[in-house]
Amino acid sequence: MKRFIFYCLMALSLMMFACSNKTSTPVLTPHEGFVQVKGGKIWYRVWGTGEGVPIVMIHGGPGFTSYYLTPLADSLSKERTVIVFDQLGCGRSDQLTDTSLMNMQAHVDQVSALLKALKIETFDLYGHSFGTMLATDFYLQHPENIRSIVLASPCLRVANWISDADTLMMQLPPNVATVLQNFRKGDKQDSLELANALTLYYNSFYNRKQPLSPYVDSSLRLQSLQVYRHMWGPEEFVANGNLKDYNRMPDLSTIKVPVLFTTGQYDAARPSTVKSYQQLVKGAVFEEIPDAGHSTMTDHIEADLKVLRAFWKKL
């Protein structure tokens, strides 16, 4: 009897010791909220059951809002915890008029504030379009808790993006390409002719699936054009904002976590350019989403989800 009591006490002691030394990871329950950052409050939403390593998703733009990521987040949250947020100035976050906060460092700080507020430790980072620029810069400053990175339709050197836009324009009818190039030069254009040229350009390389998804429509309606124009420019193929010299190609070789690069078959982030990025990251994976433009998550969500799940499953 004494020996039995002794072994019971030993077992209890070992259990208490193990519990006291186990790192406490908070369970994230589904909810929405706001986090205070410099310049205002950013809106966020936690999806899912709180199981697994959470996915932190960063939307494009700058200033485009996270609405268009809803199809991805909704589907993935049935298996994982997913966190989305609207960057300051757009969507459900506070509006932003202070141009001193319209820069990359302020956006990196927003991500840091969100992770701190939610007490997120290990996580998978997903960025799309401008979100890949922000995800890359965040990793370069804060690599410690990131398990993996998805760079979807990436822009990692703005000069490449503009060069690719020239290539894409040449695939359109000559009169349309001329209108777009003249707009870039600042030449006056017939408003209807310009509107038609822009529609054809974006329908060919950005949102091929028509009519527009209501999620893309909501992002367009609640985007911050002030943030977009200050940081990027007037249109996707004209970059004259403070990101115009952005280039992280020299830093890609320093990434030490698994990376997945994705792009649409007809993406503004051209597959050949995205492959050139992938080749700079040791062990990185490249996947092309067929029949999709820049909005792979609305143009061909089934294929998009398939490559994402396959990548994360290997982790």
Is 77 among the residues known to form the active site?
no
Name the more confident of 146 and 2.
146
Say if residue 23's pLDDT is above 70.
no
Residues 6 or more apart in contact with residue 104 via CB below 8 angstroms = 133, 134, 137, 231, 243, 246
Give the pLDDT of residue 189. Answer: 84
Is 294 among the residues known to form the active site?
yes
CA 286 to CA 222: how far, in whole Å?
Answer: 32
pLDDT tens sequence across 168-221: 999 999 999 999 999 999 998 899 999 999 999 999 999 999 999 999 999 999
What are the residues facing 264 on neighbouring strands?
Answer: 289
Using DSSP's 3-state secondary structure scheme, residue 60 falls into coil
pLDDT tens sequence across 260-296: 999 999 999 999 999 999 999 999 999 999 999 999 9
pLDDT tens sequence across 2-22: 454 444 444 444 444 444 343
Give the pLDDT of residue 290. Answer: 98
**Active-site entry in 294, 299, 300, 304:** 294
Give the pLDDT of residue 26. Answer: 56
The pTM assigned to this predicted structure is 0.91
**Active-site entry in 86, 124, 267, 299:** 267
Q: What angle do CA 42, 304, 248 make, to 5 degrees?
A: 60
Residues 6 or more apart in contact with residue 70 via CB below 8 angstroms = 84, 215
Burial of 170 (0-12, 13-18, 19+ CB in 10 A): exposed
**Active-site entry in 75, 77, 129, 224:** 129
Give the pLDDT of residue 91. Answer: 97
Give the pLDDT of residue 50. Answer: 73
CA 56 to CA 257: how far, in whole Å?
Answer: 15
Is 129 among the residues known to form the active site?
yes
Burial of 73 (0-12, 13-18, 19+ CB in 10 A): buried
